[in-house]
């Protein structure tokens, strides 16, 4: 990975892939699922922010990427249902008017109920279940980028070789 590369994992949703997956489902309820449960029906999108990051990894390699954060406030309010996809897309459209975000930015969800500290999550897929669009969120773990690159290189070179030794998978 070079310094300008986006560290978005191939199994993570980007903003563009999230929007594509939501298209055509505007009237369905949007339900985020994390830590073994769904967000409460009265959740709010409290903040959307984007930024360009420049860093050094633990191997002193320069890293650069763009990331968009969607903050979800998982609270209880009476007489509210889960947000429709249409409303979520309208919020994101409003944000994009003032704070444009790149379609291929790394996408991180910050989730808190206002009591438990905010936790970071990523979205790997979207499921459609009747009138619900469910977005499972999984914890965003830390990693060692030099080690990750080395492992990826080992896997690529091993799987790409025509040796008789099976080393893939």
Q: pLDDT (tens digit, 9 = 90+) per residue, 59-114?
A: 899 999 999 999 999 999 888 899 999 999 999 999 999 998 888 899 999 999 98
Q: How confident is the model at residue 158 (pLDDT cuts 50, 70, 90)?
A: confident
Whole-number Å distance between alpha carbons of 56 and 51: 16
| pLDDT above 80 for 159 | no
Residue 10 contacts by C-beta under 8 Å, 6 or more apart in sequence? none
57 is a domain residue:
yes
Q: Which pLDDT belongs to residue 7?
A: 41
| pLDDT band, very low/low/confident/very high, at 135 (cuts 50, 70, 90) | very high
pLDDT at 169 over 60: no
Q: In the chain, how many domains are there?
A: 1
Q: Evaluate whether residue 81 is within a structural domain.
A: yes
Q: Which residue has the higher pLDDT, 37 or 146?
A: 37
Higher model confidence: residue 129 or residue 158? 129
Is 10 part of any domain? no
pLDDT score for 66: 93
Asked if 27 and 130 count as a contact pair (C-beta separation under 8 A), the reply is no
Mean pLDDT over residues 129-145, rounded? 93
- The mean of the pLDDT values for the chain is 87
Q: Is 8 inside a domain boundary?
A: no
The alpha carbon of residue 80 and the mean position of all alpha carbons in its chain are separated, in whole angstroms, by 25
- What per-residue confidence (pLDDT) applies to 5? 36
| Domain assignment present for 129 | yes
Query: What CA–CA distance (Å, rounded) separates 117 from 114?
Result: 7
Whole domain around residue 49: which residue ranges?
15-141
Asked, for residue 71, whether it belongs to a domain, the answer is yes
């Amino acid at each position: 990975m070079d310094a300008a590369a986006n560290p978005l994992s191939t199994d993570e949703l980007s903003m563009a892939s999230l929007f594509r997956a939501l298209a055509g489902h505007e009237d369905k309820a949007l339900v985020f699922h994390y830590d073994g449960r769904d967000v409460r029906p009265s959740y709010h999108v409290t903040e959307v922010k984007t930024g360009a990051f420049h860093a050094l990894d633990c191997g002193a390699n320069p890293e650069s990427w763009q990331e968009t954060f969607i903050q979800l406030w998982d609270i209880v309010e009476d007489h509210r249902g889960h947000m429709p996809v249409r409303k979520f897309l309208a919020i994101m459209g409003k944000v994009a008017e003032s704070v444009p975000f790149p379609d291929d930015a790394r996408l991180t969800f910050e989730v808190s109920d206002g009591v438990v500290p905010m936790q970071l999550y990523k979205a790997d897929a979207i499921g459609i279940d009747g009138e619900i669009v469910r977005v499972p969120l999984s914890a965003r773990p830390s990693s060692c980028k030099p080690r990750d690159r080395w492992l990826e290189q080992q896997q690529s070179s091993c799987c790409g070789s025509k040796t008789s030794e099976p080393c893939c998978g």
